[in-house]
Structures are given as structure tokens and as C-alpha cells.
Amino acid sequence: MLKVIADQLIIKRYARQFIRKFKPFIDEQVKVKLGHQGASSPAKVLWSKKLGIWLTSHAIDEVRYWNAFGVDRPRADQIVSIITEINFPFAGIDRKTGGAFARDAWGNIFVIHRGKIGGGKKGVGKSLFENHYRGVWSFMEDGDCITQVAVIGALNSPRLALQTAHFVKKIEMLKSTALHSAQTEINFPEVTFREDLVGSLPSVEEPDIEARCDHDFVVSNLAALLKRWKFTIGNDSTHELFLVEPSRNRKSHVFEVLTDAREKNILAAAAKLLLQTASDKGDLVPILILPEEKMITCAQMLQKAGIIVIGFCLEDDRIVFPDLGKIRLDQNPQL
């Protein structure tokens, strides 16, 4: 279980470290006007093309470390809207502040969010976050109580900025959905890939948090790579990622991606794939994506069950799928 960090000096150090994670990705500084309820104020925001987000940050004297994020490239003197804030209390435990730092039993530090995603719009708030946000969830010792929180990423990870960008974009999609439907349910007749459907809803399971923080990053990179190879990709509330055979307009391959590849998780993912293929009327190909080191020990067993196993390797802020080409050849022999 995580434990919230309340020490003033430690929070200060970690808040600075959090912002430094974005510096290698920043392309430009833009003077804009931050939109608030019924008003706006001048600000300088930092834009990252690779992350697809902008941010602005400063310390509010002895109150909090304020970090605001938005999407889309800002233009000079444009009024821009804040999508979400990841703020940290100046000291102590402040449950009214959305963000916090937390430590696990092994001393790893994580950036967490309590789900406070206000915005002055009906239907946008903590209940929306708790009911619909998909990501990494964990229980945290929060002073005199236990709180379930969303984990954005590990503070020391070279992928924290990328994980934060995924978080911001998911919040943007959650808010957009809420504004268009009071039930936060929308039908999508066309095949699409939606970032906000990647990840898990809250549960009582205690995960390998550091590994699971990379999950969205792996899925999104896999989807982007398959799209570059001219596949039709999609996902829905049941399938995290699938391929569509255009000639018959039906699913051809279905994926499960594991970064927390403990045995019980591998077995659960394999069972899910087998059930999905059994219920399909066609020849749906099940594919399990695992860390390279796990793939070696599991591939033969799973392939006997009809599941294709493909590994991935994380290299700082890059990800490599060494054997993904065989899917491309399987479905498109002419390529």
C-alpha cells in the first residue's frame, strides 16, 4: 500500500523534480491568457509537440505547488482552457488538493491524483473521475484514513512526462464526454481508438504499481505503430485493442497487453483472450503482449493454447516490439 508524503521539505524537492521531468520535451514558451470562470489572466505556458500538451507552473506562497495542463498547441495571446491541474500541497495532507506524492513499501515515489477535476461544468467532478477514469489505481494510507487514488507514474521514471500527458488527455476526453451526455455514455458507430478506454477502473486488487504505470504507454505506442503500418485499429469497453479486416469489416486480431506480468495476470489475460475468440463467429486471432523477459518463459505454453505471444522492451522513453512484424506479415502477406 502507498503512504502519502506530508513532509514540507520533501514535497518541495519532489515538486521541483516533477516539473524538471518535462524540460527535455519543451519546444517553446507562449504568452497566453488562461481562461477562468468569467475571466482570464495572462500567463506563460510551455508547449511540447511530442507530449501534445502545454503546462504552466508556479508556487502559491505556503499553500500549494500549482501545475496546470492543457491540450492543443497554444497561440500567442490566445485564451486557453485548463484541462486539469496536478497540484501538490505546500506541506502536510490536504485532501482538497488534487495531487500528492506517495511512497510504497520499497521506497519508490509516485505521483498520485485524488480525482478532483473541477471545471465549473455540470457533470464534471470527482464522481465523474471515480466512475469512469481508466488507469492505474491503488489504495493509499492518507493520514488517518485509507483512500483509493489514481497513480499517474513513478517520480524517477524516464517516462513520467509521457505518463502525465496520457493522464491529461484522458481527463480532457472525460470532460468532453460529460458535456455531451449526462449519462457519460456515447455510442461510437465508427471504429476508433480512444485513449480514455485504456487502463483499469478502480478495484480492490493491489497492483505492481511501477510496472502498471507503463501500461497505457505500451498500448498507445503499439496502436500508433499498427496504424502506421496501415492497419485499421480500434478499441471498445471490452477489447483494449483490436485490428479490423477491411474486406469483411470484422475484427481479425484482438490484443491483451500486460506490463505487470505476474503469473495470475498472465493466466487472466490468456483466459480473457480465449473466451473472446471462442465467442467470436470468425477466426479471431488472440495476441498477448508481454515484457520480453516474460515472453521467453510463457510463449510455448500459450502458443499451444492458440495464443500468439509478442514481447516488448522499454528503453527509457522508447519502446521496441522486436517480433511485431509477424502480425504484419500474417495479415498483409504482400507487405
Together in a domain, 180 and 222: no
Instruction: State the Cα–Cα distance between residues 95 and 170, nearest whole angstrom.
Output: 22
- What is the domain extent for residue 146? 2-197
Position 263 scores a pLDDT of 86
At 25, is the secondary structure helix, strand, or coil? helix
Query: Considering the chain, what is the average pLDDT of its residues?
Result: 88
Instruction: State the Cα–Cα distance between residues 292 and 89, nearest whole angstrom.
Output: 39
Chain centre distance of CA 253: 23
Please report, for residues 5, 20, 86, 140, 258, the alpha-carbon distance to residue 64 in angstroms, rounded to integers and kept in the order given.
Answer: 14, 17, 10, 20, 36
pLDDT > 60? residue 333: no
Residue 282 lies in a domain: yes
Percent of the chain with pLDDT over 90: 63
Together in a domain, 55 and 179: yes
Q: What pLDDT digit, counting tens, does each position of 140-197 carry?
A: 999 999 999 999 999 999 999 999 999 999 999 988 876 655 444 445 457 888 888 8
Cα dihedral: 137, 172, 162, 27 (round 10): -160
Q: Quote the pTM value.
A: 0.80
Position 185 scores a pLDDT of 47
Together in a domain, 117 and 222: no
Residue 97 lies in a domain: yes
Together in a domain, 49 and 141: yes
Give 45 or 279, the one with higher predicted confidence: 45
Together in a domain, 219 and 193: no
Residue 143: CB atoms within 10 A of its CB come to 13
Q: In angstroms, what is the C-alpha Rg of the chain? A: 21
CB 135 within 8 A of CB 151: yes
Of the candidates 252, 243, 256, the one whose C-alpha atom is nearest the C-alpha of residue 280 is 252
Q: Which of 13-27, 302-316, 320-334 has the highest mean pLDDT?
A: 13-27
Together in a domain, 106 and 26: yes
Chain centre distance of CA 57: 21
Together in a domain, 176 and 223: no
Region 128-141: mean pLDDT is 90
DSSP lists the bridge partners of residue 154 as 110
CB 96 within 8 A of CB 82: no
pLDDT confidence tier of residue 119, bands split at 50, 70 and 90: low
Instruction: Give me the helix-helix angle, 160-180 and 215-228, nearest 10°.
Output: 80
Region 32-59: mean pLDDT is 90
Instruction: State the Cα–Cα distance between residues 1 and 104, nearest whole angstrom.
Output: 6
pLDDT > 90? residue 36: no
Position 332 scores a pLDDT of 44
Residue 208 lies in a domain: no
Whole-angstrom distance between the N-terminal and C-terminal Cα of the chain? 48
Residues across the chain: 335
pLDDT > 90? residue 40: no
Region 6-13: mean pLDDT is 97
pLDDT > 60? residue 80: yes
Together in a domain, 174 and 235: no
Together in a domain, 244 and 189: no
Residue 230 lies in a domain: yes
Q: What pLDDT digit, counting tens, does each position of 281-290 carry?
A: 668 899 999 9
Grid cell listed for 230: 496501415
Alpha-helical regions (H) of the chain:
8-20, 126-132, 160-180, 209-212, 215-228, 263-279, 292-304, 325-331
Question: Of 163, 197, 231, which closes a domain?
Answer: 197
Half-sphere exposure of 258 (CA within 13 A, CB side): 27
CB 223 within 8 A of CB 265: no
Residue 248 lies in a domain: yes
Position 197 scores a pLDDT of 84
Region 62-75: mean pLDDT is 94
Residue 145 phi, psi (nearest 5): -145, 170
CB 165 within 8 A of CB 24: no
Please report, for residues 116, 132, 193, the alpha-carbon distance to residue 237 in angstroms, rounded to integers and kept in the order given.
Answer: 24, 11, 11
Together in a domain, 237 and 136: no
Together in a domain, 133 and 59: yes
Position 14 scores a pLDDT of 98
Q: What pLDDT digit, counting tens, does each position of 203-225 carry?
A: 756 668 899 999 999 999 999 99
Of the candidates 149, 32, 65, the one whose C-alpha atom is nearest the C-alpha of residue 102 is 149
Pairing mode of beta strands 250-257, 285-291: parallel
The count of domains in the chain is 2
Residue 204 lies in a domain: no
Residue 173 phi, psi (nearest 5): -70, -40
Together in a domain, 186 and 291: no
CATH number at residue 259: 3.40.1350
Region 43-52: mean pLDDT is 96
pLDDT > 80? residue 23: yes
Position 38 scores a pLDDT of 63
Position 35 scores a pLDDT of 82
Residue 203 lies in a domain: no
Q: What pLDDT digit, counting tens, does each position of 233-280 carry?
A: 999 988 999 999 888 788 899 999 999 988 889 999 999 999 988 887
Region 87-115: mean pLDDT is 96
Chain centre distance of CA 317: 14
Residue 277 lies in a domain: yes
